[in-house]
Amino acid sequence: MAANVIVIGAGVYGAAVAASLARRGARVVVVEAGLPAHGTSGATFSWTNASAKPAGPYRDLNVAGLAAHRRLAAEAAGATRAGWYHESGNLQWAEAGDDEARQKLRAKVTGLLDDGYQARWLSRSEAADIEPGIDPAGLPADEIAFFPREGWVAPERLISYLLSVAAAHGAELLTGDGVVALETSAGQVSAVRMASGRALAAAALVNCAGPRAGVIAELVGLDLPMRNTCGLLVRVSAAALPVSRVVHAPRVHLRPDGAAGLLMHSPALDEAVRTSDTGPVVADDTAVGRLLEAGRALCPAARDAAVDGIRIGERPIPGDGLPVLGRAADLPNFHFAVSHSGVTLCLHAGGLVADEVLGLDRDEALAPFRFERFRAAPGPAAGAIPS
């Protein structure tokens, strides 16, 4: 049994890994430079899905991630902080007149159905029946894809629950203190040094540092390429819940956020966000206005809704867009749990990583996502990043 496991980061991955380890008797310390859920995990659209992933191991990992959410939600149904998982479905359609986008959506749905993934086509009237908050004028006459087993997660609630589970099994949470150095001895991590000057002995370490995962890896000489991106989300509050599902329209993405909240996102406007020395900032003052305009046009109930939050997050994207999971061959007690789509993957992938920390063999599941692949292949080509 591993003792003194240091988990770096208290986002969805860090919380999931810590809960999985602590439940099985490991002594766990979670260290977080800020506060839990205040980094990437608190500024994510948190859409749970596998439909946006290419066929193969990555899609399979996400399908397993969805199943893990269902299991935990059922297990924690009576917990006071439960209620984070919403399997309400996802609607998606292509821009009118964009034949290329329509063809891509048709091919995607066909491939998913061939793979056994639940999906079906809806007409405008069928979509309006299940999502009356959407203006029918914004819907195409047909070819609206519906993925009924997808949905969204309230990350703050999920993280709170997982950390409470970890704490109930003896885990310690240290916040407001960042990692500045890692010490090694005999080919393994032996200690973690904090900005406060505190040193923590480490029998094993799990890098769940999100956008800073490359920085943490560099402390032990591991070169993890990252190509992080920024995202802009706007939350509005309405008198009643404007939509009840995840909606991927061509110009805006919507999902519920609380009892009467609506979260808006548009990939096209993410380019308006840039990173600076102090973190992500909005560079384009019109970006929020354009996002609101698109969301309100599609959802009439949101037209008079007040803006009550703007969230800007930095997404952790490993160099080839795929997760980096499991132990490092050159430093076998140093483990990674880093990816985009962390909300979908955290429970399942985090559990696999925890298994390896505890000495179990998970190579069959984790082999495609090992850190060492970056040493065996040339740098990633530019292109789309898997969601």
Domain segments of the chain as ranges:
5-68+155-225+319-376, 90-148, 229-315
- Tell me if residue 106 falls in helix, strand or coil: helix
Q: Indicate the SS3 state at residue 363.
A: helix
CATH of domain 5-68+155-225+319-376: 3.50.50.60
Q: Is the pTM of this model over 0.75?
A: yes
Residue 216 C-beta-side C-alpha neighbours within 13 Å: 28
pLDDT at 379: 45
The model's pLDDT over 123-166, given as tens digits with 9 standing for 90+, comes to: 999 999 999 999 999 999 999 999 999 999 999 999 999 999 99
What's CA 199's distance to the chain center, in Å? 30
User: pLDDT value at position 269?
Assistant: 87
Question: Residue 3 has what pLDDT?
Answer: 76
Q: Measured between alpha carbons, how far is residue 211 from residues 44, 230, 315 in Å?
A: 13, 10, 6
Q: Residue 326: left (phi > 0), alpha (psi -120 to 50), or beta?
A: left
Q: What's the CA gap between 321 and 387, in Å, rounded?
A: 8
The pLDDT value recorded for residue 79 is: 65
Write the CA distances from 67 to 72, 87, 111, 153, integer angstroms. 9, 11, 20, 13
* CATH class assigned to 229-315: alpha beta
Q: What is the mean pLDDT of the chain?
A: 92
**Residue 282 above 80 pLDDT?**
no
174-218 pLDDT, tens digit each: 999 999 999 999 999 999 999 999 999 999 999 999 999 999 999
